[in-house]
Structure 1
Amino acid sequence: MSRAVSALHGETHKGFVEVAEAGLRGMITLRGDLASSRVKKAVKAAVGTAVPARRRIETNGEKAAAWMSPDELLLMVPHAEAPATAAALAEALAGEHHLVAEVSDARTVFTIRGARAAEVLMKLCPVDMDGFAEGEIRRTRAAQVAAAFWKSGPEEYSLVSFRSVAGYVMGLLETASRPGSELFPA
């Protein structure tokens, strides 16, 4: 059996903010009726949160549930827990219309940390960042690739993209965070 490794082995760049590949993260796509009591109960059991409202992410320590579309959530758990969590979800939702897919090895998570982290995303994503609050999530694009991001701390954003474009995304983040490229120089 092969050993799981992150896409970029924890690569980090320091510019006017720090950008880093966050390492392995367990991720499960759950599709179904998000208003269903069985789905709500299964999500609570899996990650310890409620089903999030539209464009929101609910966190519980290392676990989270992120709204991705009217019938889709991205559940995040520690990497080693993802297979068992996906199996438990599928079992809990047996007989109900749903899809559970463990997508950990198809996705990569990045962090953008620093007082000016939003500036990096402003350069890459067509999202109005004014008033973007902690707990909000946007499914969008970063330059030419699909991505989603959320404010994961007071001066931190997390971004998820496909693993196949991890090098491209890291290059975008590194370039956008280079000293001298700030949108609003101090």
Structure 2
Amino acid sequence: MADNHGESPLAARADLLAQASVPGVVEIGEVPFQAQITLRADPKGAGAERAGTALGTMLPTQPGEVAASETVRVLWMGPDEWLLVGAQGSAEEIQSTLTEALAGEHASIVDVSAHRTVVRVAGPKAEELLSKGCALDLHPRSFEAGRCAQTMLAHAEVVLVRNSVEPPEFWVFVRSSFSRYLADWLADAASEYGRPSAAA
């Protein structure tokens, strides 16, 4: 079995993102090594229902919907496509669960954990910061908790997920090859918020 230990895509930007973060205003940091599995299957088939039962949450059927159980989140990516996200090291277990549930069905189950990394953007200024490079209306009235969207952020293709409204928290899924570019952009865009005083 291949050694899956190594440096995360944004390890070299960890200090930059920490310095760009302002406690109580905006926090930016990588959430590395999340298990990510792409599933393609017939949403109306018996296999999809079995998969939902096995995962502990039914596969979402509406655009932008996110479903979740205690161990996995399922993001709607298309009429017959989902991105399943779990904790580090859980990719094999998720794949095994899906393979068993979808046995005999026409489906595709692919580990894409190395394809993207996740950047967490949180705090009162999170919406404002992301809106500098994203055309979506990120106000909670339009983009509420438990929603996802495939969009552009600073000219990079991303999957944006709102985890919560209060406190505001987003996860940004970005291709590993674009992650450092996006980290640099986020750090620069957050510079106007200043940094906490070093004085006690």
Q: Normalization by structure 1: what TM-score?
A: 0.88
**1:169 counterpart letter in structure 2:** L
* 1:49 aligned partner: 57
1:158 corresponds to 2:158: no
- What do the CA deviations read for 1:14-33 (whole angstroms, capped 9, x no partner)? 14411111121000000111
* 2:147 aligned partner: 136
Task: Tell me: CA distance 1:122–1:62, structure 2 relative to 1, closer, same or farther (3 Å).
Answer: farther
* 2:197 aligned partner: none
* Runs of 4+ residues over 4 Å off in structure 1: none
Task: Tell me: CA distance 1:68–1:76, structure 2 relative to 1, closer, same or farther (3 Å).
Answer: same
Task: Tell me: CA distance 1:91–1:61, structure 2 relative to 1, closer, same or farther (3 Å).
Answer: closer
- Which has the greater radius of gyration? 2
* 2:182 aligned partner: 169
Provide the C-alpha distance between the structure 2 equivalents of 1:32 and 1:103, rounded to a whole number of angstroms: 16
Deviation for aligned residue 1:129? 1.8
Query: RMSD value over aligned CA atoms?
Result: 1.9
Contact kept, 8 Å, 1:30 with 1:74, in 2: the verdict is yes
**1:173 counterpart letter in structure 2:** L
Contact kept, 8 Å, 2:73 with 2:84, in 1: the verdict is yes
Identity %: 29
Contact kept, 8 Å, 1:44 with 1:51, in 2: the verdict is no
- The correspondence for 1:121, drawn from 130, 150, 155, is 130
Task: Tell me: CA distance 1:44–1:162, structure 2 relative to 1, closer, same or farther (3 Å).
Answer: farther
Note the residue ranges of structure 2 that are not aligned, 5 or more in a row.
195-200
Deviation for aligned residue 1:151? 1.0
Contact kept, 8 Å, 1:18 with 1:177, in 2: the verdict is no
Q: Provide the secondary structure at the position in 2 that maps to 1:7.
A: coil
How many positions carry a matched residue from both structures?
Answer: 180
- What do the CA deviations read for 1:65-119 (whole angstroms, capped 9, x no partner)? 0101111100011121102321331232132121110111111011101012111
| Between structures 1 and 2, the one with greater strand share | 1
1:147 corresponds to 2:155: no
1:81 corresponds to 2:90: yes
